[in-house]
Amino acid sequence: MLLVIDVGNSNTVIGIYDGVELLTHWRLISKGRTADEIGVYLLNLLATVSIKPDEIKGAILSSVVPPLDAVIREGVQNYLGIDCMRVSSDMDLGIEIRYSSPSEVGADRLVNAVAGVKKHGTPLIIVDFGTAITLDIISPDGAYLGGTISPGLVTGMEALFGKTAKLPQVSLEAPSTVIGNNTIGSIQAGIMYGNAGLVDFLVTKTWDELDQKGKVIATGGHADKIAALSRTIDLVDPWITLEGLRMIFCRNCPDPETMPGLEN
């Protein structure tokens, strides 16, 4: 079995693959922990689904929080006895990176691109709703070009409330109309419809620059809610990042015979 870990600024998503099947997954809060805490968390999570530690034969990590990288890898090594692979632009990813400085691209964005090309073809736009809203653009010939980075829904909402003492906290739900007739409805309309409009504008501008339309895939914590309001998002792929980690591990596995059933 393969352990895949995606560390974001807000959440860490962990999955277990048996061959090409995602058996189970967990979403945790990303925060500073010791290697021992990481190891104990992993053992407890595996125990909840009756997976023995020695059944895990490989591990791979993508992270946008560098201080956690060494801690997680140490925890995996000490408690599972596995060297945890870490995604970087220097690896064999199977796609060309045309970013001016490939090392600056977030590992999660590269992982999404790898899985996106394999699963959905090209040209492709991947919209990831996390702490930031990112658009990643894949060219018609399958190269990673770059994209955009905007504040995420929660990030924008926290900034709004942090600067306005009288506004109430609201849930991230879209009201039935964009014209809010009360404060809560007005805030919800601005955040939900506003971010859907942001994505649609960036997508159409990208299509103009590519001189070609392509599929638009959404992922991340709020993908479903914004996709329901968007005019350009084609479908939601919630596990594209975990799938990309599995694919990259397959391409870079030092001993493929220890991981039967894995496929690119």
pLDDT the model gives residue 261:
59
8 A C-beta contact, residue 217 and residue 126 = yes
The residue to which tokens 């005019």 are assigned: 231
Let me know if 108 is a catalytic residue.
yes
Residues 177, 221, single domain; the answer is yes
Residues 235, 137, single domain; the answer is yes
Beta strands in the chain (DSSP E): 2-7, 11-18, 21-29, 58-63, 85-86, 124-129, 132-138, 144-151, 215-220, 235-236
Number of domains in the chain: 2
Q: For residue 260, is pLDDT > 60?
A: no
Residues 21, 82, single domain; the answer is yes
Q: What are phi and psi of 48, to 5 degrees?
A: -65, -20
pLDDT the model gives residue 259:
63
- How far, in Å, CA of 198 to CA of 132, rounded? 13
Q: Which of 18, 83, 108, 211 is catalytic?
A: 108
Report the pLDDT averaged over residues 29-36: 85
CATH number at residue 66: 3.30.420.40
Give the residue numbers spanning the domain of 188.
121-240
- The CA angle 129-75-8, to the nearest 5 degrees, is 10
Q: Judge whether 111 lies within some domain.
A: no
pTM exceeds 0.75, yes or no: yes
Read off the pLDDT of residues 173-201 as tens digits, 9 standing for 90 and up: 999 999 988 988 998 999 999 999 999 99
Q: For residue 84, is pLDDT > 80?
A: yes
Report the pLDDT averaged over residues 206-233: 95
Domain final residue, candidates 86, 110, 135: 86
Residues 75, 132, single domain; the answer is no
Q: Judge whether 259 lies within some domain.
A: no
Read off the pLDDT of residues 114-171 as tens digits, 9 standing for 90 and up: 999 999 999 999 999 998 999 999 999 999 999 999 999 988 888 887 766 667 778 8
Report the pLDDT averaged over residues 238-255: 92
Residues 78, 125, single domain; the answer is no
Q: What are phi and psi of 200, to 5 degrees?
A: -60, -40
169: which DSSP letter? P
Length of the chain: 264
Q: For residue 263, is pLDDT > 80?
A: no
Q: Judge whether 190 lies within some domain.
A: yes
Q: What mean pLDDT, rounded, does the chain reach? A: 91
Residues 66, 130, single domain; the answer is no
